[in-house]
Structure 1
Amino acid sequence: MRRSAWLTAVVAGIGLLAACAPSPATGSAPAEPGFPVTISHAKGSATVGHRPRRVVVLGSADAQIASALDLPVVAAVRSPSSADGNWPGLAKPLPAAVLTLDALNPRLEAVAAAAPDLILATSAQPAYGAVYDKLAAMAPVITYRHGLLQDDGDELVTMIGQAAGEEARARELVASSHAAIEAVKRELPGLAGRKVAFGQYTGGKTYLAASDHALSVRLLGQLGLRVPEQLSALAGQAEGYAASLGMVTPSAENLGVLDSADLALISTYGSGAREEFTRIPLVAKSSLAARGRLNLINQDLATTLLTPTPATTGYLLEQLKPLLAKAVS
């Protein structure tokens, strides 16, 4: 069975020995104010001995946060959906010479060749988590605190800011994110209490965010939007990894639930998926479609909304504002 590109990733076997990796660089520089600093995360903890000078990023949110904090990135995973390999919402694009790593399949020799003194993996795909010990033999690794795609964006920015010695800049980024959200709320006061459905159709299944376990629901909630009661009622029926992300998978016969929303933001993934989704009877005949409020959004917006952080708030609001205005028109 095909699975959503959001909800799973290829777990690749890596045969490299940890002995091939260089020794951690945490003790190689003189002590600096604020260092060493120890960061606790889901896989243990990482002690960073000095302000990082060579940062490797292994996930999309890691790249976005590192760019926003202006960290010295020397190697990063490429986005498979963009021509230049950059992820959407970057404060400034990373150069091609830095975008040398595969987002799904770890090449430990390439990570080691970058000689990192800090590795950011808070949003790295599961294949990188499977080789965490080998990565940690190279340099301190900062991974997610609670679970993959489950950490609050403010918390991720704060954690990475602490590890990189950029706590003040991280606080400014979080504050500016909150201010931008408040500005949109003032601009579109009619959003308060409106109902929104966000999700993706792929492999013959529709995945919809149904509870505040979904980071997208939390961000949209900050704007005053809510998940329809008919949709949130399905959350108790969800199982597996989708459930941990606050997602549900209603059948085609139950997609009438979309009409309980004032606005839908749906992406489609895979060859022919867009046409397939829009031909589903309860989608094609929905009042949302008739009123022009069924928005088929692109993958860049969808994947960034799935894992929002203060580093991408500006990008998300810029993309979402014209769509959200439909909910109050």
Structure 2
Amino acid sequence: MKNPRLTRLAIVLTALGVAASCSTDDGSGTEQVDDAGFPVTIEHQYGATTIESRPEAVVSVGFNDQDFMLALGRTPIGTRAFSGYDYQNRPWAREQLGGQTIPEVGEMTINVEQVAALGPDLVLGTYSVMGDAVYDTLAALAPTVGDLPTEDVEAGAWQSQLEAIGQALGESDRAQEVRQEVEGAFTAAREANPQFEGRTLAVALYLGDSFYILEAEDPRTSFFTSLGFAMPEEAGDVSAERLDLLDQQNLAVLGATREQLAADPLFSNLAVVREDRTVYLGEFGTDVPAALGFASPLSLPFALDETVPSLAQATDDDPATVVAPVGAP
């Protein structure tokens, strides 16, 4: 069974009346919070939340919201654990975390009591799948931004999250800068590898005894389409009798190494495998699959650095090229 945290949650933002805020000093040596741009209203799946002033004690209950806060220079006072991965030591957030451990407020489910104990003035859960009942409970504690609307997913999941969280924190200007930096990294990778454009690539999960081709809207698939790749027409479960669905111009496998899949004769006989047009992204619980799952402004540049060299080798149309393991120096 797939981890529900790694499945698609399409998100988009509608926000009203916002501008960036900043801090000032009143001359006494005490920092004064500038609430310019507030109040701000953010719409989400459970209604609309108005944030009256710049929040200072923010609890992140989303599966990846913590990364967005860190990218904007803010650290949550509590966060949700990322199951199945040593997320506290994730390499793409090492600098921002500076060795600190943030208190946890749940893992697969949100621990409302732990959230309450931290006394937040804002709860962020833009990708949390919290549900109406949990939202109502959290909203009684503090202004709460729930899962963002599901329409217009093509507008960009991480971009919408970044915009919403930037507005909620009073960091809209920085959010725009971060967006430009990340999108610029994707543009640079595409320009350096024009052969990516239009090539059909299946992004497949290996689930132990079967494969699953991710839908085009899944954030992990969006990573590859942002590099110029096209997705196959069919997605979903892949039976042993239909392994040909994996046999695209290129294949990216999440959840297994080359060595683990080499023992499967049917898989090994696929042309995309025999001709070394396959990129193995690693077992679940390792850095690259987790970075793709986080799909954040911090994890995406890390994933680019780790995967683009192998993708370049897999798309050079030279049968003699051996695709290096993802993350190889």
Which position in structure 2 is the counterpart of 1:110? 114
TM-score scaled to structure 2, two decimals? 0.76
What amino acid does structure 2 have at the position aligned with 1:250? Answer: V
1:26-54 Cα distance to aligned partner (Å, 9 max, x none): xxx99821111111011111111111111
1:180 paired with 2:185, answer yes
User: Aligned partners of 2:120 and 2:146: how far apart in 1?
Assistant: 15
Q: Is the 8 A contact 1:191 1:327 kept in 2?
A: no
Give the Cα–Cα distance (whole angstroms) in 1 for the partners of residues 132 and 298 of structure 2.
Answer: 23
Residue 313 of structure 1 and its aligned partner are, at CA, apart by: 2.5
The residue number in structure 2 matching 1:67 is: 70
Q: Go from structure 1 to structure 2 and tell me whether the alpha carbon gap of 1:205 and 1:140 turns closer, same or farther (over 3 Å shift).
A: farther
Shift of 1:87: 4.7
After superposition, the C-alpha distances for 1:125-151 in whole angstroms (9 at most, x for unaligned) are: x45665111111111122222249x66
* 3-state SS of paired residue (1:56): strand
Q: Tell me the CA shift for residue 106 of structure 1.
A: 2.3
> Number of residue pairs matched?
285
Match in the other structure for 2:244: 256
1:4 corresponds to which of 2, 5, 26: 2
CA deviation profile, 1:44-65 (whole Å, cap 9, x unmatched): 1111111111111122320110
1:200 aligns with 2:188: no
Taking a change above 3 Å as real, the CA distance of residues 210 and 110 of structure 1, as seen in their structure-2 partners, is closer
Query: In the alignment, which of 288, 292, 301 is matched to residue 276 of structure 2?
Result: 292
- CA deviation after TM superposition for structure 1 residue 216, in Å: 3.0
Identity of aligned residues (%): 27
Other-structure match for 2:48: 45
Contact kept, 8 Å, 1:78 with 1:87, in 2: the verdict is no
TM-score (norm 1): 0.76
Cα pair 2:79 2:103 within 8 Å, conserved = yes
Equivalent position amino acid for 1:134 in 2: T
Structure 1 residue corresponding to 2:291, chosen from 295, 301, 304:
304
User: How has the CA–CA distance of structure 1 residues 134 and 205 changed in structure 2, closer, same or farther, with 3 Å as cutoff?
Assistant: farther
Deviation of 1:196 (Å): 1.3
Does the C-alpha gap of structure 1 residues 6 and 268 become closer, same or farther in structure 2, counting only changes over 3 Å?
A: farther
CA distance in 2, matches of 1:88, 1:134: 34
In structure 2, give the amino acid aligned to 1:225: F
CA distance in 1, matches of 2:136, 2:199: 46
What is the alpha-carbon distance in structure 1 between the residues aligned to residue 49 and residue 68 of structure 2?
Answer: 18
Partner of 1:143 in structure 2?
Answer: 146
Q: 2:267: which partner in 1?
A: 283
Asked if the contact 1:64/1:87 (under 8 Å) is kept, the reply is no
| CA 98–129 in structure 1, closer or farther in 2 if over 3 Å, else same | farther
**Cα 1:256/1:206, change in 2 over 3 Å:** same
Question: Does residue 173 of structure 2 align to residue 168 of structure 1?
Answer: yes
Using the TM superposition, give the Cα deviation of residue 225 of structure 1 relative to its aligned residue in structure 2, in angstroms: 0.8
The SS at the match of 2:164 is helix
Q: Which of 132, 135, 154 is the equivalent residue of 2:135?
A: 132
Q: Contact (CA 8 Å) 1:116, 1:139: kept in 2 or not?
A: yes
Distance 1:158 1:308 in 2: 14
Give the 3-state SS of the residue equivalent to 2:88 in structure 1.
coil
Aligned to 2:319: none
Write the distance in 2 (CA, Å) between the matches of 1:294 and 1:6.
Answer: 26
Letter in 2 for 1:70: G
1:89-100 counterparts in 2 under 5 A? Answer: 89-90=92-93, 92-93=96-97, 95-100=99-104
2:27 matched residue in structure 1:
none
**Cα offset, 1:107, TM superposition:** 1.9
Structure 2: runs of 5+ lacking an equivalent: 8-31, 317-329
Q: Which residue in 2 is equivalent to 1:328?
A: 315
Quote the Cα distance in structure 2 between the aligned partners of 1:45 and 1:52.
Answer: 17
Structure 1 unmatched runs, 5+: 10-28, 236-247
1:34 pairs, out of 16, 33, 37, with 37
CA gap 1:130/1:303 in 2 versus in 1, 3 angstroms: farther
